Amino acid sequence: MRIGISICSNYRLEDPRLGARYMVERAATARQADLDSLFVGDHHVTPTNYYQNTAILGRMLAEWGNKPAGALYLLPLWHPVLLAEQIGTLAAIMGGRFILQCALGGDRKQSAGMGVDLKKRVPMFEDSLSIMQALWRGESVSHNRFWPIENASINPRPADPVEVWVGSSAPAAINRTARMAQGWLASPALGLQQATEQLNQYQQACAGHDCTPSAVAVRRDIYIGETSQAAAKMKQDLLARGYRGFPEEALVAGSAMEVADELARFGGVGYTDIIVRNMSQDQGEALATIERLAEVKKLLA
């Protein structure tokens, strides 16, 4: 089972340069811990500092190495030709393969701020992904349903195929993932039982489309403490403050051994990748958790 990291992009700091520095430091520490993949998220028109994925990933790649990396993109919020070009450039400067994590995006304020009709996000998502995949194959694309595109082609194109993971949870969306993508990313809010049930749905959808996924991933928000007691206290403090609205069973906190045991349960039901995210906003605690993931990896080997 592979362990990757999605580095937090949202920081409540007065100096915006500090949050960007934190992200770069976390990427460098993730490389030192020998993690298997590196990602950043996607959000727009935010009230706090949210570092935009293409730009910050380009900087973080200088700290990363030759393992896979990528970003989440909420496809309906992006012009597909521009995004295909940006990913082509990122793929050209990185050592490993590019993994596109993508999703619909369901935030009404965000969609309105980006000028996107939320009701059209499903067909926009499908058309956007199809357009980008055609452009990466070197095809010329025209489209007039959502974007007035005439005979577009791009360069540079990724030297290796872009691997597509789709984040989805509704049955229709899971079926769409099996039909259109190479991998699936389960919701970070799922407990093990729900994650197992949705994995079964995804596997059935893959069988129906006669496809074999390259990755079956789930995100876990984690904290690895110096002691079990310290980790348990951190988890309870965050839950008391309503941490991201997640249920307790969706959060993983403990010693390196306890965290390894918890992640192994997901590997046992069929997940190939765990994408971790730091629960703590404190930079020292976040870096310590990433460093301790090296031990978690050894325990899972």
Alpha-carbon Rg of the chain, whole angstroms? 19
Alpha carbons within 13 angstroms on the beta-carbon side of residue 151 total 0
Record the tokens describing residue 255, joined without a space: 């010693």
| Structural domain contains residue 206 | yes
The CA–CA distances, whole Å, from 60 to 63, 135, 286 equal 5, 26, 16
* Global pTM value: 0.96
3-state secondary structure of 154: coil
Record the tokens describing residue 261, joined without a space: 């045991």
* Amino acid identity at 261: D
| Structural domain contains residue 108 | yes
| Structural domain contains residue 267 | no
| DSSP secondary structure letter of residue 76 | G
Domain count, the chain: 1
| Structural domain contains residue 293 | no
| Structural domain contains residue 164 | yes
| Structural domain contains residue 76 | yes
Q: What is the pLDDT along the chain (301 residues), one digit of tens a residue?
A: 999 999 999 999 999 999 999 999 999 999 999 999 999 999 999 999 999 999 999 999 999 999 999 999 999 999 999 999 999 999 999 989 999 999 999 899 999 999 999 999 999 999 999 999 999 999 999 999 999 999 999 999 999 999 999 999 999 999 999 999 999 999 999 999 999 999 999 999 999 999 999 999 999 999 999 999 999 999 999 999 889 889 999 999 999 999 999 999 999 999 999 999 999 999 999 999 999 999 999 999 9
Yes or no: say if 9 and 41 are a contact pair by the CB < 8 Å rule: yes
| Structural domain contains residue 265 | no
| Structural domain contains residue 247 | no
Q: Domain of 15: which CATH number? A: 3.20.20.30
Domain that holds residue 80: 2-215
